[in-house]
Structure formats: structure tokens, C-alpha cells
């Protein structure tokens, strides 16, 4: 039992350290892009199929590639980078615009299928109309 507890604690420590290390790496990439926009070779999007969303990435002129923003941070980060003159390529910008439009449309549209009126169906069956 002690071995299991030790393994669980060790796993928790590894996950904790890797989370903060990855977060620091991402923040470092964002600050580098904001402080030295000339070091940025390109900004690009990567599709995450499991969430149908896009992660924002950067490639620096020295060849390093880093994640800049998770899908829920991408719009704000793109706006912040845009103030420094950094933009997505035309293809990625069109992809981002289509994705944002589809997301807005899905959020604005109510459920297309109204919930069935269960009580009315039961009333018809009881009255003999459903038989």
C-alpha cells in the first residue's frame, strides 16, 4: 500500500512540475514574440481534432517552434500580437475567420430540435388515440 501511495505522490509531483515548466515555456515564447517581433518567422494554427479548436503556434527565425496559446486564449493572444504587427498567414487567417464564424453561429443558434412534448404523447395513448 505504501508503494502505491509513493507512486501516486511521485506521479503528482511529475505532473505538477511539467505543468509549470510548460506554462513557463509558453509565457517565455509569448514575451519573446512581443518584445522582439523581428525574431518571429511565422505564426500558424494547429487543429486539435478532439476539441475542434485551434492552438496558436510560433516559429522563430532560429528554427525553434513553440505553442503560444491554447484554443481559449488564441483570440486574445492574436489581438495582442497584432498590436505588434504580427499576423497569421492569409490561409491561416481565413481558417481562423471561418472557425470564429462557425463558432459564433453555433453559439447564437438555439437547439434546432425542440424537446418532445412527452405529456401530450402520454395523453393521446391514454385516450386511445395512439393505438
Does residue 114 sit within a domain? Answer: no
Per the domain annotation, does 92 fall within a domain? yes
Q: Is 119 part of any domain?
A: no
Residue 87, number of CB atoms within 10 A of its CB: 13
Tell how far CA 68 is from the center of its chain: 11
The 3 state secondary structure assigned to 3-60 is HHHHHHHHHHHHHHHHHHHHHHHHHHHHHHHHHCHHHEEEEEEEEECCCCEEEEEEEE
Tell me, yes or no, whether 56 lies in a domain: yes
pLDDT (0 to 100) of residue 108: 78
Q: What is the pLDDT of residues 41-74, one digit of tens each?
A: 999 999 888 878 899 999 999 999 999 998 888 8
Q: What's the rounded Cα separation, in Å, for the pair 26 and 10?
A: 24
Q: Is residue 8 assigned to a domain?
A: yes
Question: What is the domain count for the chain?
Answer: 1
CB-CB contact of 68 with 33 (8 Å): yes
Per-run averaged pLDDT (10 residues), the chain, 131 residues: 92 93 86 90 89 90 91 90 91 89 78 56 62 49
Q: What is the pLDDT of residue 121?
A: 59
Positive or negative torsion for Cα 53, 59, 65, 68 = negative
Model pTM score: 0.67
Q: Does some domain include residue 91?
A: yes
Q: Which domain does 44 fall in, by range?
A: 2-102
Residue 130 inside a domain? The answer is: no
User: Is residue 37 assigned to a domain?
Assistant: yes
Amino acid at each position: 500500500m505504501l508503494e502505491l501511495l509513493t507512486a501516486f505522490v511521485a506521479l503528482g509531483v511529475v505532473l505538477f512540475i511539467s505543468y509549470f515548466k510548460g506554462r513557463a515555456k509558453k509565457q517565455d515564447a509569448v514575451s519573446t514574440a512581443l518584445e522582439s517581433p523581428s525574431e518571429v518567422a511565422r505564426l500558424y494554427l494547429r487543429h486539435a481534432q478532439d476539441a475542434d479548436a485551434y492552438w496558436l503556434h510560433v516559429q522563430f527565425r532560429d528554427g525553434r517552434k513553440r505553442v503560444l496559446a491554447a484554443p481559449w486564449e488564441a483570440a486574445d493572444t492574436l489581438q495582442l500580437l497584432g498590436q505588434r504587427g504580427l499576423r497569421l498567414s492569409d490561409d491561416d487567417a481565413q481558417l481562423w475567420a471561418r472557425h470564429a464564424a462557425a463558432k459564433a453561429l453555433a453559439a447564437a443558434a438555439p437547439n434546432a430540435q425542440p424537446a418532445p412534448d412527452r405529456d401530450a404523447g402520454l395523453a393521446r395513448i391514454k385516450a386511445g388515440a395512439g393505438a
